[in-house]
């Protein structure tokens, strides 16, 4: 069994940091678990920019015969759809670069193998929890930055508040665990999203509205505003919502689960 190795690398952006790390380890993308510690930020004209930091952990791959993964069709670059038509040409998000040996698990299309296994794991978990619910899997919109689509597994039923928990804590614990469980079986990182009754979607919309509201406040007062601490994916929603805002920019500060977003006037 190969030994588990773990490194932290920095780069101008997340992709570059990952690339650098893979090269350092001499492995390809399917052999590591990628953990984005800091997405970094471009800052304004290079001022206040922060390097992206990612952690790469090699998977301990047992010498089993290579799993027969059905060959994937050539990946078509997916151009991320934007809600509002912006005429200014933005650098279009590129799909994750294909690793040299052609085994590209980070394809732009949602992963069918992962979907099947994730549904199975979640259904079993719900059953053991004694929760009566149905599972409905869909595919997300392509990510704004990476163009990647992921499986979204929505749990539907009555009285599922217990699965969400205070501020989505239970839901996040469930997503974290089931991703690890599926990742362990597939021997690669799982990236599906677990949702309950569309909670994440509603939360996302609420956060986007919050971001817009706070941005207005920042502009009116000409003063930065700090939001309360949020988990990474929620901070990301704030950053993404205000990415193209002409009057403000955003930053994350603080460590661990005290990390929060600041909105500052440009």
- Identify the residue among 139, 177, 206, 217 touching other proteins (CB under 8 A): 177
129 binds other proteins (CB under 8 A): yes
Using rule CB under 8 A, residue 174 touches other proteins: yes
Nearest to 115 by CA among 179, 47, 158: 179
The single residue among 185, 204, 245, 251 that binds other proteins, judged by CB under 8 A, is: 185
CB nearer to other proteins: pick between 63 and 71 = 63
Sign of CA dihedral 219, 220, 222, 223: negative
Among 7, 25, 131, 208, binds other proteins (CB under 8 A): 131
Among 60, 92, 134, 253, binds other proteins (CB under 8 A): 60
Calpha distance 26→16 (Å, rounded): 15
In 3-state terms, what secondary structure has residue 3? coil
Task: Return the residue of 98, 103, 137, 170 that touches other proteins, per CB under 8 A.
Answer: 170
Alpha-carbon dihedral sign for residues 44, 45, 47, 51? positive
Cα end-to-end span (Å), the chain: 52
Q: Which residue has the tokens 């047992």?
A: 62
List the one residue from 130, 220, 222, 228 that touches other proteins (CB under 8 A).
130
Contact 239, 256 (CB under 8 A): no
CA angle 220, 222, 223 (to 5 degrees): 115
Min dist CB 30 to other proteins, Å, is 19
Binding footprint of other proteins, residue count (CB under 8 A): 22
Using CB under 8 A as the criterion, which residues of the chain lie in contact with other proteins when the complex forms? 60, 121, 124-125, 128-131, 162-163, 165, 169-170, 173-174, 176-177, 180-181, 184-185, 256
């Amino acid at each position: 069994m190969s030994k588990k190795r773990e490194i932290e690398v920095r780069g101008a952006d997340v992709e570059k940091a990952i690339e650098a790390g893979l090269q350092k380890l001499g492995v390809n993308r399917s052999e590591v678990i990628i953990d984005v510690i800091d997405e970094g930020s471009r800052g304004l004209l290079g001022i206040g920019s922060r390097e992206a930091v990612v952690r790469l952990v090699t998977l301990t791959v047992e010498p089993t015969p290579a799993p027969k993964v059905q060959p994937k069709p050539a990946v078509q670059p997916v151009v991320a759809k934007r809600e509002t038509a912006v005429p200014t040409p933005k650098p279009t998000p590129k799909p994750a670069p294909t690793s040299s040996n052609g085994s590209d698990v980070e394809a732009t299309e949602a992963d069918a193998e992962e979907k099947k296994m994730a549904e199975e794991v979640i259904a079993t978990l719900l059953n053991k929890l004694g929760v009566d619910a149905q599972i409905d899997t869909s595919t997300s919109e392509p990510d704004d930055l990476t163009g990647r689509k992921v499986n979204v597994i929505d749990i539907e039923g009555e009285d599922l508040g217990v699965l969400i928990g205070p501020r989505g804590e239970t839901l996040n614990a469930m997503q974290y665990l089931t991703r690890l469980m599926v990742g362990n079986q597939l021997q690669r990182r799982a990236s599906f999203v677990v949702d309950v009754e569309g909670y994440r979607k509603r939360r996302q919309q609420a956060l986007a509205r919050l971001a817009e509201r706070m941005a207005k406040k920042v502009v009116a007062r000409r003063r930065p505003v700090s939001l309360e601490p949020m988990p990474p994916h929620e901070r990301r929603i704030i950053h993404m919502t205000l990415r193209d805002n002409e009057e403000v920019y955003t930053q994350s500060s603080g460590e661990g689960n005290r990390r929060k977003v600041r909105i500052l006037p440009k």
